[in-house]
Amino acid sequence: MSTASVATTSSGYLLVLAVMWPVIGILLSFVVSGRQIERLAWIVLPVGLVIAGATLIAVTQAGQSQIYVVGNWAPPLGIALRADGISVAMMMATAIVICVTGVFAHGEFSQPPGGPEERAPVVFWVLLFAIWSALNALVLGSDLFNLYVALELLTFAAVPLVCLKGKKETVEAALRYMLFALIGSVLYLLGAAMIYGAYGTLDIRLLSERGHAEPATLIAASLMTIGLLAKTALVPLHLWLPPAHAGAPAPGSAMLSALVVKGSFFVIIRIWFDAMPDLLSFRAAQLLGALGAAAILLGSVLALRQQRLKLLIAYSTIAQIGYLFFVFPLAAGLATGVAWSGIAWTASWLQLFSHAFAKAAMFMAAGLIAEALGHDRIAELGGIGRKLPITMLAFALSGLSLVGVPPSGGFSAKWLLLLATVMEGQWWWAVVIVLGGLLAGGYIFMVLGRLLASPTEVPALQAPVSRWRECAALSLAICAVLLGIWPLQSSDFLFIGR
């Protein structure tokens, strides 16, 4: 594509709206009183969902990327927003998870009636809007520096979410997360500077034309990738994730585990598959895949050893992130047009979305259980399933998707990944995928067994659990299962704009 052909498309304004609408919500949050913010959210969330849906329809109908050229200055001088298949899919998943999280947070982050206004609810809703805007900016950005700014916005919104309850452990976890994220962002920026130095542009499309495999580009891409891996919490840079994701309040954990870590993964995909497709050598792809395999095995084994439910789910996130990195060895042939790569590409996105829904549902269910019992020690969960049947169903359905039991999004994703390993002749990844599934089955059934146990005395509930919040968790679990009806083949939709 030449520079001259980059122009705003008919639905381009939707992209600006997607980024700006949550920001408008943030600005209004500072104007209205603390009690009104939740009411404001009931307007911001559905409208945001509609914007995401409209963008999805626009891109699907056009069958090509929707573009907005900011200020009508074409790249490389200006900056473009670009929505292709994968970015609108991400936008839609983000909108669904954020909206359900908003429903779930009702009650936990409502102002107490009668009493003085509290700070935590105000901060929570502002951070929720901020995460949404940052994620939309991230998936729509087509300029490496723009992506840097979006990544930083995402980090700044995610870190305070960890320590919203203000306990000492959570502040420690937030600080550790922040320091990892800082290393990540500065390494990314260094890589971006090197790329600009080498090619004189940061626009992803122009880079894919101008860029070629040379040592400087390879070093830059490696620096950026290492920085992003720290933010994605891929082994061995995962140490910050369990305390941060387990310590955050349940709606926060849901967004952090389902969406925030995926944001930085999305940028890694943009770098290797969009900006510099020639650079993804066999060795680099195998290395990233190996790190993913290590994450699956280590995360799953550590999850099996946890005593607390939220920590178990957090370690499971580390393992499930590992699957995403099989896209590098298995879909590496995408640039050169190897036919089977499309399967691995589809599988990875399916894994990303089904994990997002399932993990958000699971963290919500765990939050409800912890709220009802006053603790989340796995050994003492016996029989809670009788008291909270909907919560237990949500946990079970999302767990089955994580394990990969059909029919579920997790099953389709892992099936397609296995298919890709066979077609590509890289059987060693298949071993890890099967082992990871078995280990996931271990830790999910360990918890499910406790939930379903019939103890001599059913535990007393410390606090009543709202039916609405249970249904919110269940609806996301059902989304994860429904992804299982996705046709088991390479999806054209995810190739729009490629």
Partner 1 sequence: MNSATLFGFCSAAIVGLGLFGLIVSPHPLRRILAFNLLGSGVFLFFGVVARRGAAAGLGADPVPQALVITGIVVAFSATALAVALVLRLFALTDEAAPTSEADPKAGAEGGHS
Binding stretches for partner 1 (CB under 8 A): 76, 145, 148-149, 152, 155-156, 159-160, 163, 166, 168, 171-172, 174-175, 178-179, 182-183, 185-186, 189-190, 192-194, 196-201
∠ CA(49), CA(54), CA(59), 5° rounding?
A: 130
CB-CB contact of 30 with 123 (8 Å): no
Alpha-carbon distance of 405 to 361, in angstroms, equals 17
76 vs 322 by CB, closer to partner 1: 76
Shortest distance in whole angstroms from residue 403 CB to partner 1: 36
106: closest CA among 452, 403, 466, 413? 466
Shortest distance in whole angstroms from residue 58 CB to partner 1: 30
Shortest distance in whole angstroms from residue 360 CB to partner 1: 25
206 vs 372 by CB, closer to partner 1: 206
CA end-to-end distance (rounded Å), the chain: 11
If you search the block for the tokens 């925030």, which residue do you land on? 260
Shortest distance in whole angstroms from residue 102 CB to partner 1: 24
CB-CB contact of 311 with 246 (8 Å): yes
Partners of 68 in the β-ladder: 81
Query: In degrees rounded to 5, what are phi and psi of residue 66?
Result: -95, 135
Cα torsion through 123, 124, 126, 132, rounded to 10: 150
Number of neighbours of residue 208 by Cβ within 10 angstroms:
16
What SS3 state is found at 81?
strand
168 vs 467 by CB, closer to partner 1: 168
80 vs 432 by CB, closer to partner 1: 80
Shortest distance in whole angstroms from residue 364 CB to partner 1: 26
180 vs 328 by CB, closer to partner 1: 180
∠ CA(29), CA(32), CA(35), 5° rounding?
A: 95
156 vs 493 by CB, closer to partner 1: 156
Shortest distance in whole angstroms from residue 148 CB to partner 1: 8
135 vs 178 by CB, closer to partner 1: 178
Handedness of CA 467, 473, 475, 477 (dihedral sign): negative
Shortest distance in whole angstroms from residue 149 CB to partner 1: 7
CB-CB contact of 63 with 151 (8 Å): no
Which are the contacts of 181, defined by CB distance < 8 A and separation ≥ 6? 155, 159, 230, 231
Burial class (CB in 10 A: 0-12, 13-18, 19+), 105: buried
Shortest distance in whole angstroms from residue 230 CB to partner 1: 11
Which amino acid belongs to residue 178?
M
28 vs 149 by CB, closer to partner 1: 149
